[in-house]
């Protein structure tokens, strides 16, 4: 892992900055897709949105694997309850 020097970002800061940027990008594409009248253009926005979510997931996975973004795991019963609620 590189150590930041004054005026530069270290690995953790760069990943978190990129993750924050991806959150904004996906939010914007989501809004544009949802408010787009032209079906073909909407499909294009949705395709790009999927790609941007994949990038965001990669950044999250990287930060999680390095221990920078700890996540408390939910019990399987809570996960299944949420899945059931969302698929009804």
Give per-residue pLDDT as tens, 17-70.
999 999 999 999 999 999 999 999 999 999 999 999 999 999 999 999 999 998
Alpha-carbon distances, residue 13 vs 7, 9, 29, 31 (angstroms) = 12, 6, 24, 27
More confident residue, 54 or 3: 54
Alpha-carbon distances, residue 74 vs 9, 26, 29, 32, 70 (angstroms) = 33, 25, 29, 32, 13
> What's the pTM?
0.74
């Amino acid at each position: 892992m590189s150590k930041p020097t004054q005026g530069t970002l270290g690995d953790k800061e760069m990943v978190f900055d990129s993750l924050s940027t991806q959150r904004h990008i996906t939010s914007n594409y989501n809004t544009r897709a949802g408010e787009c009248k032209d079906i073909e253009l909407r499909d294009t926005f949705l395709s790009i949105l999927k790609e941007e979510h994949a990038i965001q997931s990669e950044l999250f996975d990287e930060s999680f694997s390095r221990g920078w973004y700890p996540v408390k795991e939910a019990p399987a019963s809570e996960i299944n309850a949420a899945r059931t609620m969302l698929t009804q």
